[in-house]
């Protein structure tokens, strides 16, 4: 039998490796920015065109490379970070695999210009699809400039999987945020299509966070700091009242490397237990410093997942530190059984002595003396009000006849008195057509038995079809606001709103002004209450971040589902008879009443025979 196993050619192996390392333009941005940081750059510029499809360029003022190193950096597993397997457990740099540049060069056109500080001339290299097109000496500034053009030009299938320019730009922005937050001492510039999106000068961590997420973020932050033998922790958490529907502002950094850790995230959420609204997520920017030998960063190609030697201890320390910060800054309620603050002496009265109360007594008063008794009666008559209260009862006896009894006294009808709950029966003979169970289900009878409707999901289906009809036929009704609403968002959130602005206008939103961090709304859909606009916008942003890819294919459907979810009647809301009947009628007037917009049952039926079985 002939041998069938063979070695893959280098260009094929590089393309396979590129599938692991380079998933989209944001992956290229991450690798290039990390290389610039490893080169000890103090100023880094990121230039992107068309969401990274046309150009991704990173310019730094780092140490640069020699003529030979500039050529070897594009070879597979060529790196200056490690020399032996033992070095994998003492990693203090960003990149160390030696796969990034080789993988990028295999699927794009790459141009590299670099020069060391002491060299008179630098090196310029051009690579197309893994093949070196040219290499020559040239005059370039100190540092490195690398340009990646026409990503996935030789893999059309991968290029077709790329999303729209706005979606890819959001992913690039997320990677830029992660790198910039990890290194507040480095100056960053971010350009897209010729316009500067971010200019972040060197600053403290708090100023770097505010510079990225906007000035409103400053009032949200609560510092966290703890130092132990296992881990050194510092950073910030966001106050519970600023928790959002989306998971956007959640960052973990271990030794200045961004990581994803569901286990540590659970520690943060458990520390906020009892302080968050339902379906909201806390924001945090937490930095952990541990011994490099106690972690393994070589378990994932993108290096965003690491393994701790003692993650249970880190979990407990993280949870305890956050709880301490919440209590220290009076964010969480604290019980103090030793002191009652209501009994504290005000600061202005601390040095003053107590004033004894004085009582004036008429020692000569004698109630048995005639002059004293007259004086008492005279003073009592002076205190009596002008309208004698006895006069209210004059003639009352004459109006009531002897036949009058309690049975003839007319009392207020109980039917007219306000009720705190709906009665099961309108009267003793007629039964209501529906009732509410646990403020969650609407139960009514049908010919075959019983119908049980999930009030939240049913209302979602009703609103979903209304919003979808508005967007399809452009029949949205907008109510103008007397005073425009001004809402504050981060720059990344504002970019999402600008992407869906046209679709939101089809639903009835009217935007008067859109700034970098503020949004002014002059009109809202008729189905949206004014006090719910902020909640609706947070829900829209959260869904756009989670399912942004659907904005390219079916934006009206995504926004209709999001609006219906945000505005539907919630579980726990009491419904009167008219509301219950309207819910039933509107649900079965829908084209697809069986399921809610998220493909979950909106109602179930229970036949009479099925009920009878339970009584056999």
Average pLDDT over residues 237-246: 87
Query: In which band, very low, low, confident or very high, does the pLDDT at 144 lie, cut at 50, 70 and 90?
Result: very high
Q: Does domain 205-328 have CATH number 3.40.50.2000?
A: no
Inter-residue contact 314 to 321 (CB < 8 Å): no
> What integer pLDDT is reported at residue 117 of this predicted model?
85
Predicted confidence (pLDDT) at residue 432 exceeds the cutoff of 50:
no
Predicted confidence (pLDDT) at residue 283 exceeds the cutoff of 60:
yes
Percent of the chain scored above 70 by pLDDT?
A: 78
Whole-angstrom distance, CA of residue 150 vs CA of residue 52: 8
Predicted confidence (pLDDT) at residue 157 exceeds the cutoff of 90:
no
Tokens 């209260």, located at residue:
389
Q: What is the DSSP letter of 191?
A: E
Predicted confidence (pLDDT) at residue 450 exceeds the cutoff of 70:
yes
Predicted confidence (pLDDT) at residue 20 exceeds the cutoff of 50:
yes
Residue predicted with more confidence, 104 or 491: 104
Least confident window among 195-204, 291-300, 329-338, 449-458: 329-338
pTM metric for this prediction: 0.71
Coil, helix or strand for 69?
helix
Residue predicted with more confidence, 408 or 223: 223
Predicted confidence (pLDDT) at residue 148 exceeds the cutoff of 70:
yes
Predicted confidence (pLDDT) at residue 429 exceeds the cutoff of 70:
no
Residues of the chain within CATH 3.30.230.10 domain(s) are: 205-328
Closest C-alpha among 141, 168, 77, 71 to residue 110: 71
Query: In which band, very low, low, confident or very high, does the pLDDT at 335 lie, cut at 50, 70 and 90?
Result: low
Query: In which band, very low, low, confident or very high, does the pLDDT at 458 lie, cut at 50, 70 and 90?
Result: very high
Coil, helix or strand for 92?
coil
Whole-angstrom distance, CA of residue 286 vs CA of residue 264: 10
Residues of the chain within CATH 3.30.565.10 domain(s) are: 10-200
DSSP 514-569: E-SSEEEEEEEETTS-GGGHHHHHHHHHHHHHHSTTHHHH-HHHHHHHHHHHHHSP
Whole-angstrom distance, CA of residue 470 vs CA of residue 269: 39
The pair of structure tokens assigned to 240 is 């519970």
Predicted confidence (pLDDT) at residue 444 exceeds the cutoff of 70:
yes
Whole-angstrom distance, CA of residue 223 vs CA of residue 206: 9
Residues of the chain within CATH 3.30.1370.100 domain(s) are: 453-587
**Distance (Å) of CA 431 to CA 72, 417, 448, 454, 606:** 86, 20, 18, 22, 20
The pair of structure tokens assigned to 398 is 């004459």
Residue predicted with more confidence, 86 or 490: 490
Most confident of 67-71, 109-113, 430-434, 447-451: 109-113
Closest C-alpha among 95, 133, 136, 140 to residue 116: 140
Whole-angstrom distance, CA of residue 460 vs CA of residue 562: 9
Least confident window among 304-318, 364-378, 521-535: 364-378
The mean pLDDT of the chain is: 81
Looking at 1.20.1090.10, 3.40.50.720, 3.40.50.300, 3.30.1370.100, the CATH number of the domain 453-587 comes to 3.30.1370.100
Least confident window among 249-253, 411-415, 434-438: 411-415
Contacts of 156 (CB under 8 A, 6+ apart): none
Coil, helix or strand for 57?
strand
Percent of the chain scored above 90 by pLDDT?
A: 35
The pair of structure tokens assigned to 186 is 């480095």
Predicted confidence (pLDDT) at residue 390 exceeds the cutoff of 60:
no
* Structural class in CATH, domain 10-200: alpha beta
> What integer pLDDT is reported at residue 549 of this predicted model?
61
Which long-range CB contacts under 8 A does 124-128 form with residues at least 24 apart?
Answer: 125/70, 125/71, 125/74, 127/74
End-to-end CA distance of the chain: 72
Query: In which band, very low, low, confident or very high, does the pLDDT at 372 lie, cut at 50, 70 and 90?
Result: low
Whole-angstrom distance, CA of residue 256 vs CA of residue 28: 19
Per-residue pLDDT of 72-104, as tens digits, reads: 888 877 776 665 665 555 666 776 556 788 888
């Amino acid at each position: 039998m002939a041998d069938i196993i063979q070695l893959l050619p280098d260009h094929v192996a590089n393309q396979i490796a590129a599938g692991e390392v380079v998933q989209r333009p944001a992956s290229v941005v991450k690798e290039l920015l990390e290389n610039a940081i490893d080169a000890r750059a103090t100023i880094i510029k990121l230039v992107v065109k068309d969401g990274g499809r046309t150009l991704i360029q990173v310019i730094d003022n780092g140490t640069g490379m020699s003529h030979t190193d500039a050529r070897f950096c594009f070879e597979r597993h060529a790196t200056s970070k490690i020399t032996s397997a033992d070095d994998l457990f003492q990693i203090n740099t960003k990149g160390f695999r030696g796969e990034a540049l080789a993988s990028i060069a295999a699927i794009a056109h790459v141009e590299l210009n670099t020069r060391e500080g002491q060299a008179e001339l630098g090196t310029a290299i051009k690579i197309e699809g893994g093949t070196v097109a040219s290499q020559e000496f040239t005059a370039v500034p100190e540092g490195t400039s690398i340009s990646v053009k026409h990503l996935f030009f030789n893999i059309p299938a991968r290029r077709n999987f790329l999303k729209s320019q706005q979606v890819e730009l959001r992913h690039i922005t997320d990677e830029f945020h992660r790198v910039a937050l990890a290194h507040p001492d480095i100056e960053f510039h971010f350009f897209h299509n010729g316009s500067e999106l971010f200019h972040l000068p060197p600053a403290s961590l708090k100023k770097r966070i505010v510079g990225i997420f906007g000035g409103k973020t400053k009032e949200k932050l609560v510092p966290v700091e703890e130092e132990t033998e296992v881990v050194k922790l510092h950073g910030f958490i966001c106050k519970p009242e600023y928790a959002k529907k989306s998971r956007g502002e959640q960052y973990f950094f271990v030794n200045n490397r961004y990581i994803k850790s569901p286990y540590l995230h659970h520690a943060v959420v458990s520390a906020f237990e009892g302080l968050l609204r339902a379906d909201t997520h806390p924001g945090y920017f937490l930095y952990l410093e541990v011994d490099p030998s106690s972690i393994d960063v070589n378990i994932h190609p993108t290096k965003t997942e690491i393994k701790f030697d003692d993650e249970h201890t880190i979990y407990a320390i993280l949870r305890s530190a956050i709880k301490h910060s919440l209590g220290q800054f009076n964010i969480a309620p604290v019980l103090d059984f030793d002191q009652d603050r209501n009994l504290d002496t005000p600061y202005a009265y601390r040095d003053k002595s107590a004033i004894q109360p004085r009582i004036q007594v008429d020692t000569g008063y004698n109630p048995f003396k005639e002059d004293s008794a007259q004086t008492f009666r005279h003073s009592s008559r002076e205190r009596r009000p002008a309208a004698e209260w006895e006069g209210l009862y004059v003639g009352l006896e004459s109006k009531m006849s002897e036949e009058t009894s309690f049975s003839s006294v007319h009392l207020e009808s109980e039917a007219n008195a306000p009720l705190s709950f709906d009665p099961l029966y309108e009267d003793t003979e007629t039964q209501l057509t529906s009732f509410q169970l646990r403020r969650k289900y609407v139960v009514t009878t049908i010919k075959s038995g019983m119908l049980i409707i999930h009030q939240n999901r049913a209302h979602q289906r009703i609103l979903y079809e209304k919003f979808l009809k508005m967007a399809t036929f452009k029949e949205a009704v907008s109510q103008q606001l007397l005073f425009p609403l001004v809402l504050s968002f981060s720059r990344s959130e504002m970019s999402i709103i600008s992407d869906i602005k046209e679709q939101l206008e089809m639903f009835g939103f009217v935007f008067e002004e859109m700034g970098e961090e503020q949004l002014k709304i002059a009109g809202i859909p008729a189905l949206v209450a004014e006090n719910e606009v902020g909640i609706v916008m947070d829900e829209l942003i959260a869904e756009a971040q989670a399912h942004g890819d659907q904005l390219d294919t079916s934006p009206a459907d995504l926004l209709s589902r999001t609006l219906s979810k945000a505005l539907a009647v919630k579980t726990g809301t009491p419904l009167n008879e008219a509301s219950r009947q309207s819910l039933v009628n509107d649900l079965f007037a829908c084209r697809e009443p069986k399921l809610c917009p998220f493909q979950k049952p909106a109602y179930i039926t229970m036949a009479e025979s099925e009920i009878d079985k339970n009584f056999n």
